[in-house]
Structure 1
Amino acid sequence: MEHDSLREYSALADSGLLGQLQEFQAKAHNYEELISQSLELFTKTSEMDLVGYLASCLVQRFIPSYLAVFLRDESDADNVSSICFQNLRPARCPIALDTIDPFRDFFDTQSGTTSFTELMQKRPEIAGPLQPLNPDLVIPLNGLNGLYGIVILGRKVLDDDYTSDELTYIEMLFEFASIGLQNVIHYTSSVTDFKTRLYNHSYFVRRLQEEMNRVGRHHHAFALLAIDIDHFKLLNDRYGHLAGDRALFQLSRMIESAVRQEDIVSRYGGEEFLVLLTQCSKQAALDVAERMRRSIADTSFTYQDKELSVTVSIGVTHCSFPPDTSGKQLIAEADQALYRAKHNGRNRCEFFNAGLLVMANRLLSITYR
């Protein structure tokens, strides 16, 4: 029996059928792997996570000198963000693109992935600035409204050409990635405030409830900051609403830079913001609030050649085990502490305590903004 099997195996090998079967088996495995990777792509909820996962997929097959993704901002068509990996490690992108519109014009007449050489021949004015990325392939990212981004793959680190199988894999992987990134962009848009690009209030409330549940399960603690710009109406009246919008945007970036990545910053409404500081003690929360207040007071921003600055008042409250309150009540507590800071002269931080209730109820009927 074993001898017959060996003879059949040898006959298959001699006829070339064995090689074809093995090739089909390898391709089937590759397609299964690609399907698995595409399903994983669709679970990502941030652009950075998705591009990072793409890098981990590519490294299993080859290492491009650069993987650079350029995405048009859905809320600001004049802004193009970039995510860059050099040798499949996160890196600062050596170039910036002001717009992807010229690439849209090019890919209107060119279907799918194109070589950098071809792009250079047909559109040298848009290909030239890409050269610091050592580009080999230019891949369009298409969504429901057309091109919303491009991917640049640099030459392979070993400097050999991409094989036909690798090119097929790249084409298919980035078709899935294009859908995944579009989903991420739509998700981000649904949880983000348009004007400040911070999380919106509905998302913040959901994350606050999750954090309260975590406190109940794991005996963690967290803090809440309510932040309001002092005399914001005067800024709007004196310099106009565009100056006010600029102040909101700049302040949002300063608040983000003052907290950790795992903390949640949101726009509460108007000129007020909420910050969720996860796993945070009372003293640490006060330290963060005071550091943030001083940083904002010491920083100016430019609007139409004018140097403008603002100050903020901050209310702080804390939640620890057991959580004997609601998310709505915690926000009210932080807001009451904020109003006390306003009442006591603005540009200061105040911590909520039960003794504030009577004072807060009286102050809530007065507008301090």
Structure 2
Amino acid sequence: MQWKEIATNSLILKNYELFKKSGVLDYIDETHSNNKELEDLLIEANEIFRQETVDELINLIIHFLAEKFIPSNMVFILNEGIMFNRIKTIVCRNMKISNDIIVIESLEPFEQFFRTYRGTTSFLILENEMEDTGLLAPFVPYKPRIVVPVLGISGLYGMIFFGEKVLGEDYDTREISYIDKLMNFTSIGIQNTIHYEHSVRDSKTGLYNHNFFIHRVNEQIARAKRVQKPFSVILMDIDNFKLFNDSYGHLAGDEVIIQLSKVLKRALREGDILSRFGGEEFTILLPYADKNEGWNAAERFRKTVEEMETKYQENILKITISLGIATYNYHEKINDITLLKRADDALYKSKKTGRNKTTSFKSGLLTKAQDMDYNESNQPSLK
């Protein structure tokens, strides 16, 4: 029987005073309210599990909390790394993300505490239990009242600090219960997004990996056929990188690859997909870019890298890149393998005709004849 049916039942109405005095109606009201809260929580959980990034998830959590109460401050400390520490900190003031920076090297010092206190806990208890209270100094200015661990199968993924409420008294048992439940779902959501990110990204550079790139290329092929618009892919390679590693060492090479990744990311348009193809090779998907737009983008990347400087020990290191472009024509029936082979052929031509240059793929007998003439008069260089 539904609550509406109970509330209009003639027998209950006839004996209303008796039911009220016995506490049955209050119990039904409370049960109905609890069920509604659980239904809302399940809807929120569904939204949490649909988020693809940690930032999106945190913004959603802030939105959910703002509908219940408003903490004066919130501090999110999350380890986005799996094999190594990559601590991310986000500070919210009055439910708005601020530019505050908190430096935390590792979550390891907090592990022991949260093995004992696995739910929402008073910050005072954390202060009393921690051997090194200096580790909590960065959080004190935010006047934390409670702390919630983000726990998973690999241990402690993070901590969330709640400051005092803007309105009302301290957190009551109902609010603590809600936070506990919401944070249980949040913990799973954060773990899912972190592991998803690691499944599609290169661990050294943070760029998308080859498998993710191929997946997006195939999506773009299907989209290009549907909307009848072209797109381009760029395959690029660091020039003479083997010689570079032999001269400066592989650690210097790693530093250059990391710096190159950062420089390329800053040069992307919104919607472009940059991936580490493998070793010193990188790929870029340019949605809806025709041949001219692909060429202009590739030249922008090439010139940006040409100006790039990487400081390593006492050296200022410089590199150049060669690039090959292939543009997808929606009239053609080619797949991702053929498209990337075309970009690779264009890249190879950039390499063998001088390096630090961009080449667009061209098919036909004239291109093949030009290549044959070049090969007869030149020894091909190592890629």
Provide the TM-score with structure 2 as the length reference.
0.87
Farther off after superposition, 261-270 or 317-326: 317-326
Say yes or no: does 1:166 pair with 2:180: no
| 3-state SS in 1 of match to 2:116 | coil
**What letter matches 1:335 in structure 2?**
D
Say yes or no: does 1:8 pair with 2:9: no
1:140 is displaced (CA, Å) by: 1.1
**Alpha carbons of structure 1 residues 54 and 367: separation in structure 2 relative to 1, 3 Å:** farther
Provide the TM-score with structure 1 as the length reference.
0.90
Farther off after superposition, 277-286 or 291-300: 277-286
CA RMSD of aligned residues (A): 2.6
Matches within 5 A, 1:1-369: 6-75=13-82, 77-123=84-130, 124-158=133-167, 160-355=169-364, 356=367, 366-369=380-383
Farther off after superposition, 14-23 or 207-216: 14-23
Rg: which structure is higher?
A: 2
CA distance in 2, matches of 1:350, 1:182: 42
CA distance in 1, matches of 2:297, 2:93: 34
> 1:116 touches 1:127 (CA, 8 Å); kept in 2?
no
**Alpha carbons of structure 1 residues 261 and 144: separation in structure 2 relative to 1, 3 Å:** farther
Runs of 5+ consecutive residues of structure 1 not aligned to the other structure: none
**What letter matches 2:55 in structure 1?**
M
**Alpha carbons of structure 1 residues 360 and 127: separation in structure 2 relative to 1, 3 Å:** farther
Alignment deviations for residues 320-342 of structure 1 (CA, whole Å, 9 cap, x no partner): 43353211111111112222222
> 1:336 touches 1:360 (CA, 8 Å); kept in 2?
no
> 2:49 touches 2:189 (CA, 8 Å); kept in 1?
yes
**What letter matches 2:249 in structure 1?**
G
> 1:215 touches 1:322 (CA, 8 Å); kept in 2?
no
CA distance in 2, matches of 1:4, 1:75: 62
> 1:220 touches 1:279 (CA, 8 Å); kept in 2?
yes
> 2:342 touches 2:361 (CA, 8 Å); kept in 1?
yes
Farther off after superposition, 171-180 or 299-308: 299-308
Alignment deviations for residues 170-228 of structure 1 (CA, whole Å, 9 cap, x no partner): 11111111112212222222222222222111121111101100111122332111111
**Alpha carbons of structure 1 residues 96 and 283: separation in structure 2 relative to 1, 3 Å:** farther
| 3-state SS in 2 of match to 1:108 | helix
Farther off after superposition, 2-11 or 194-203: 2-11
Give the share of equivalent positions with the same residue, in percent.
Answer: 35
**What letter matches 1:237 in structure 2?**
D
**Alpha carbons of structure 1 residues 290 and 135: separation in structure 2 relative to 1, 3 Å:** farther
CA distance in 1, matches of 2:11, 2:278: 80
CA distance in 1, matches of 2:332, 2:75: 45
> 1:95 touches 1:132 (CA, 8 Å); kept in 2?
no
